[in-house]
Structure 1
């Protein structure tokens, strides 16, 4: 029911957007697009998926083995599940897959996935802060967003860097959240602690994963800038480094299906100084393709994980690792 509601909200927002901008103008933007840049930008999905799979391999402890092809299958299968399961459960399912196939224990596999997604979020925030430093916009809204993103980045880094800060953070969250969520919170706290113990014993390995994550997200944001070029529009790259992460963060709000609608509206608002609403709406569709193309590519591998999906759906309130 919750998933159905999010789909309704997404398509309602899109319907309003397309009605406001006049849908034929959106079609015209794609008709006038640059085919070469379009192929280059869409084609970046391939190296991005492969690089993310390589990073997943590097996360696996020495002595355990995860093949490159298997890592790619896990990434693509998780992309499919993120489209059909609520709350990014595809990423949790990826941990479950690694456990079921004997790569890792359940708690460690969950810890690795938590660390992987934390690195992704912090890398996105880092590039956003970097872009906002050079973004010459004195609007009060951007000052608030700049402060919020910076606070999120600092908090995330402290959570990774300090076990004491993490314990204090979880204690505060425990007071705020209702009691029914406490068992899940404790499981998450335990996984976070195990992740701390695993990664901080080898700081060189930790640095390698962090640098790789930052580079991966640079390529993600570069892809979005290439989308702009494909639509025969223009935005300075440093400005796009500030604006596109803000739109991605808007898409992470748990209101819509795969961020569709909220991300599109954010792109129209943030890129308003550089191009018109139909172009921004077209950019929104291309940004959505970043999630749909890997999901489509992952469909052939989904059958291998059907039994795991059924287990996850049966235990979605409390996965037993």
Structure 2
């Protein structure tokens, strides 16, 4: 029978992705932590973590086990805080997302509503493949990405193989983001031909630089001028400094991004289905459910198809 302490150990190792880092956070030695987890694995008859020379990761059985472990630990914390006058444990939640302002807005609302004196949260704006891996291994409970006609077959197959489910948030028509100083900003809509002389900005996808993992639709188009970046702030700075453009949903946040960048409709017959992914074998935590609700509130007005 697993003890609550063992469950907390497993959760910490999963959160850290490192036995050594988890041991430091738990204030125990790494050999003691390793032994406690091996004892648990022997007791329940499964391998929770796969150990290789590259590090440690959850096994397929471990992913399912973690879903239950997190629920038990969360319920235990509620009991302690309700009946034993114990100090609430720091809250944990992580989301991995493509570079969307509404995902940040929802995260801000989550912290404002549910942040205790202590919490440990993570918002990872990252590459598409890493979003899928993060949710697959429960490093993040929620992932945010999009599907469209071009990538849906490949992406759906990957999500199924990872035991993940896609939940649609909104469907949008394609837009470009440009500086208010860009000549294209004065047009009611732009065509592909209008964009030819302007620098095209896109997000780097690393070793998984497949067209299907691109954050931007129409990823197979060739461009005379092309720049790849890693973060949203850099991309927006280049939109302004170089009169560049990027292709996205048209959803912006003036609160976060100011008024220097605006969306302009792109005259192209295509739709973008933006949604969130979760693991089929893991029940969402209270914070994850609250974040999904914040996402829905932040995007309900953006279903513009």
Q: What TM-score, normalized to structure 1?
A: 0.22
| Bigger RCO of structures 1 and 2 (CA < 8 A, at least 6 apart) | 1
Q: What TM-score, normalized to structure 2?
A: 0.23
Higher Cα Rg, which structure: 2
* Structure with the larger strand share: 2
* Structure with the larger helix share: 1
